[in-house]
Amino acid sequence: MEVKIGITDSPRELVFTSTQTPDEVEELVTAALQQGSGLLSLTDEKGRRFLIHATKIAYVEIGVADARRVGFGIGAEAAAGRHAGKATSG
């Protein structure tokens, strides 16, 4: 599952894939935010731990990770079909 965390005073967001369930991540985020000086601790799929000071969390987006696509995707297949007559022959 993909987790995106916006950090205040930072132009970039923290994005990683976690093996934790959406409910587990939500519980950890909620607990960290309820504790004024708490830390949010999450683990990614490679076992790396991320510690974020709860007061620096701007937002958390919890969602399903995109399936890694091979090739150009479905849109490219449709476009290739439309241009099939324009292929060069050798």
Output the furthest CA–CA distance in the chain (Å, rounded). Answer: 69
Residue 15 has pLDDT above 90, yes or no: yes
| pTM exceeds 0.75, yes or no | no
pLDDT band at 80 (very low <50, low <70, confident <90, very high): low
pLDDT band at 38 (very low <50, low <70, confident <90, very high): confident
C-alpha pair distances (Å), 18 with each of 2, 41, 42, 65 = 6, 12, 8, 9
Over residues 25-46, mean pLDDT: 89
